[in-house]
Structure 1
């Protein structure tokens, strides 16, 4: 029984660490998001609930790292010039990726964009602030402690597979969607998780994936497309031309468009070839037998 929980060196297995992290993070984030509902209505828009979810994951990460006697920077979390640079590059990258998908759909005659009559700069800034919180929350949850312990336990490739699958299943897919559209949306979300994992692996920092995540979601909302099935209102409104949903993405958004699959495959191929700015993996991440034990 001991071998089930601990490895040959007596360390708690990384799988149990990851499971404990996910369960504890879900509880802590849920509690803090409930606290958010108690805030006055006038305050809630300035403190989106996604920031409370991120705070929950951050606190759990700090607790688990404390037990392992490791600093927060070991997860690729820091506030410095490099983080600001990677965050900015990521935002631009996310916007460019979504822009390429949107351009391909427009060229295929799937939709055209009309300027929204009630577009306001304040709503666009608010959307950016909201999407920053979403990026921080989801990247800290999926590509922080959990992803890095999965790498230690499974190796990089299998960790990418497992975390990308979890990332995909964590996103809601409306059962009312047409089956081809739902399949495309799930494939896209899996590929997006893989791309974001590569962003971390190439930099060993969460700033780049957070920026890409933020830029991706924000530009979708600015153009008026759905963001993972959630309705948004931006500067434009898409008017669909009757093409199949798996071409235009429909109400779900561009993430359900086959063009998104194509563009993400190209981006993943480019990131795979990119050497990045991270230290060699053998230096950046200790081997499983070198990892500190998780002792109470």
Structure 2
């Protein structure tokens, strides 16, 4: 029984740590959202669900780090000049990747943009806050404690494959979506998950993947495209020209476009060749079973 739960160093196996973390996160997220729904209608808008979801993933990270007698910085939550730089570069980089995708679709006569008449500035600010909370939640969940323990147990390659797959499957897809768009959307989100995993692996901090994730989503929403199938209202509104949905992504957004697949694939290859800072490699990437 000991070998099932503990390794040769008498430490709980990484697989059980990951399961425990996800179990705690599910309890916290569901519990916090349940409490929010019990609040008065006048209070509820000031407590966004996505912020509670982030807290629901962050608190178990703190609990697990305390149990292991490590710090939040060791889980990628370092607060430093380097983290600020990573976040800023990620924000610009994520927005730039969306810009390149939009440019490619536009050059192929996929759409044109028209200015949103009213409320654009407030929509942008609200979208920034929402997308930051989304990025914090999803990066904590998919590339924080659980991902890092998977690296210790399975190594980077298998961890990337498993968590990028989970990342893609965790995004909802409309059953009415065209089959080709569904395939492209799932492939895009899988590649995005792989890219964001590399962003952590190459820096040892979560600031870069959080910045890239926020910049990607915020830029899509600001241009008026759907964000993973969720409608948005930004500074502009895209008017599609009736081109195939595999090119434009249709209502799903640019994440359903073949252009995005090409760009993300090139970025993943580039990150695979970049050696990064390697600070995270102070931790074992392959623990004894």
Q: Are 1:152 and 2:152 matched, yes or no?
A: yes
Q: Give the equivalent residue in structure 2 for 1:103.
A: 103
The answer to whether the 8 Å contact 1:113/1:237 transfers is: yes
Which secondary structure state, in structure 2, belongs to the residue aligned with residue 22 of structure 1? Answer: helix
C-alpha RMSD over aligned residues: 1.7
Displacement of 1:284: 4.1
Query: Per-residue deviation at 1:279?
Result: 2.1
Q: 1:130 Cα shift?
A: 0.7
Per the TM alignment, residue 197 of structure 1 is displaced from its structure 2 partner at its CA by 0.2
How far did 1:44 drift? 4.8
- 1:25-40 mapped onto 2 (5 Å cutoff): 25-39=25-39
Query: Cα deviation per residue 1:22-56 (whole Å; 9 max; x = unaligned)?
Result: 12101101211233334555555554321211111
Shift of 1:78: 2.3
Distance of 1:44 and 1:16 partners within structure 2:
36
Q: How does 1:75-90 map to 2 (within 5 A)?
A: 75-90=75-90
In the alignment of these two chains, the number of paired residues is 289
Number of the residue aligned with 1:240: 240
Partner of 2:176: 176
CA distance in 2 between partners of 1:48 and 1:223 (Å): 23
Aligned-partner Cα distance in 2 for 1:45–1:92:
29
Once structures 1 and 2 are overlaid, which stretch shifts more, 66-75 or 193-202?
66-75
Query: Gapped runs of 5+ residues in structure 1?
Result: 292-296
TM-score (norm 1): 0.93
Q: Distance in 2 between matches of 1:285 and 1:125?
A: 41
TM-score, normalized by length of structure 2? 0.95
Q: What is the Cα deviation at residue 6 of structure 1?
A: 2.2
C-alpha separation in 2, matches of 1:247 and 1:40: 45
C-alpha offsets along residues 175-227 of structure 1, whole Å, 9 cap, x if unaligned? 11011110000000100000000000010000000000001110111011001
Q: Once structures 1 and 2 are overlaid, which stretch shifts more, 35-44 or 227-236?
A: 35-44
Aligned runs of 1:135-284 on 2, under 5 Å? 135-279=135-279, 281=281, 283-284=282-283
Unaligned runs of 5+ in 2: none
Q: Distance in 2 between matches of 1:209 and 1:70?
A: 22
Question: Given that residues 48 and 133 in structure 1 are in contact (C-alpha distance below 8 angstroms), is that contact kept between their aligned partners in structure 2?
Answer: no
The answer (yes or no) to whether the contact 2:248–2:256 under 8 Å persists in 1 is yes
User: CA 1:116–1:176 in 2, change beyond 3 Å: closer, same or farther?
Assistant: same
SS at match of 1:288: coil
Aligned to 1:5: 5
In 2 relative to 1, CA 279–122 (structure 1 residues): closer, same or farther, beyond 3 Å?
Answer: same
CA distance in 2, matches of 1:80, 1:47: 28
